[in-house]
Structure 1
């Protein structure tokens, strides 16, 4: 399936926490969007691989994404090397996204930055003809390079290059995040399992606070921020006039 937009996260829930509002927006505009999880989140303190798959499926349904897949790289131990790059190149060439949303390039969790670099590298290499990969049926794949790789903001703050208004879909976004009931505090599970950085009630408050802060920057209620290593150009100034500030 060719996608307009592919959101890639190293852990199930990275996409929901960081760019699910943008995904939902684009899906509502008729775009085809998917999620690719690099690992199964097996090193997470709370929950299991099985519960993470169930939660990821529920979140995907809430967002309305067209496909969700998992590359089953080793949580915590994957590398930005040839083996992992080729695996990701194959997926990029399979889905042929115009835009990729990727992990932050530098963040509190070392997996995030390493994944952000891996995704950026693989997106570039996927456009090189002489790197050969095959699809699941053994057919030679054609080269494909996304037009943009946008890195979403995660735990650490970085000055965004692009802000997307998600005010109209914010509640749906939060519903998708809360699908990960083993990871975050909720009135049903409470504090079952060890307390973690993300399992306190304050963590979800901070997620809302970040979206409010980003929204304030562009004069809307809620927004998500992205960093682009490639300069973003427009063909005419009418594109600016479509954004209310």
Structure 2
């Protein structure tokens, strides 16, 4: 299956928090989108890998993505090396996305920056002819493939975006997909330990941070991305 967009997240829920609205919007326009989680979030303070798996499946249904896979890399300890790069190259060549979305280039959680550089490097290497790969469910050699664009969504840190997508009509889809992770976020009935993302304030920040980005582009809600290269347009009138 060829995808238009392939979104990567170091942990299940990264993609929903960072670019869930953008994904929902593009799917509504007929684009085929997939998600690949690098880890099962097994070091998360709340929940279990099994509960996280179920929550990720539910969130994927809410967004309507075509595929969701988990690489089962080691949460907290995966690195940007040849083994991990090759595994991601296989996925990039398998799904041949035009656009890749991935973690913020720098962030509070160490896996986010590591995931960002790992995916970015894999996207470049995936285009090299002399790297031979094949996946278990495919016969023969995989053709090289390099995505046209790699964008990094904004996470905990308020990084300066290069691009802001208007998600005003899809903010509720984003929030619903995020809150599918019931073990991770605010729940007044939970007896689990508190974390930086389990507070009511963090839950409310999903909307108010999107509202602030929307304000910057003259819309109600937005999601921001940093780009790896200059944004090209045919005309200044293509810019809103």
- TM-score in same-fold range (> 0.5): yes
2:183 aligned residue: 182
1:196 aligned residue: 195
1:30 aligned residue: 30
Alignment of 1:65-76 (within 5 A): 65-76=65-76
What's the secondary structure of 1:76's corresponding residue?
A: coil
1:127 aligned residue: 127
What's the secondary structure of 2:184's corresponding residue?
A: coil
2:58 aligned residue: 58
Alignment of 1:1-245 (within 5 A): 1-136=1-136, 137-186=138-187, 190-240=189-239, 243=240
TM-score where L is the length of structure 2: 0.97
Structure 2: runs of 5 or more not aligned: none
What CA distance in whole angstroms lies between the structure 2 residues aligned with 1:101 and 1:3? Answer: 12
TM-aligned CA deviation for residue 134 of structure 1: 0.6
What CA distance in whole angstroms lies between the structure 2 residues aligned with 1:8 and 1:106? Answer: 15
Given that 1:191 and 1:199 are in contact with CA atoms closer than 8 Å, whether structure 2 keeps it comes out as: no
What's the secondary structure of 2:141's corresponding residue?
A: coil
What's the secondary structure of 1:78's corresponding residue?
A: coil
TM-aligned CA deviation for residue 172 of structure 1: 1.1
Given that 2:171 and 2:207 are in contact with CA atoms closer than 8 Å, whether structure 1 keeps it comes out as: no
TM-aligned CA deviation for residue 112 of structure 1: 0.2
What CA distance in whole angstroms lies between the structure 1 residues aligned with 2:134 and 2:38? Answer: 19
What CA distance in whole angstroms lies between the structure 1 residues aligned with 2:161 and 2:37? Answer: 23
TM-aligned CA deviation for residue 9 of structure 1: 0.1
The CA RMSD over aligned residues, in Å, is 1.0
What's the secondary structure of 1:134's corresponding residue?
A: coil
What CA distance in whole angstroms lies between the structure 1 residues aligned with 2:91 and 2:110? Answer: 23
Structure 1: runs of 5 or more not aligned: none
TM-aligned CA deviation for residue 238 of structure 1: 4.2
TM-aligned CA deviation for residue 192 of structure 1: 2.7
What CA distance in whole angstroms lies between the structure 1 residues aligned with 2:92 and 2:237? Answer: 32
What CA distance in whole angstroms lies between the structure 2 residues aligned with 1:92 and 1:2? Answer: 10
What CA distance in whole angstroms lies between the structure 1 residues aligned with 2:10 and 2:113? Answer: 10
TM-aligned CA deviation for residue 205 of structure 1: 1.2
Given that 1:100 and 1:149 are in contact with CA atoms closer than 8 Å, whether structure 2 keeps it comes out as: yes
TM-aligned CA deviation for residue 77 of structure 1: 0.6
Aligned length: 239
Given that 2:103 and 2:115 are in contact with CA atoms closer than 8 Å, whether structure 1 keeps it comes out as: yes
TM-aligned CA deviation for residue 191 of structure 1: 3.0
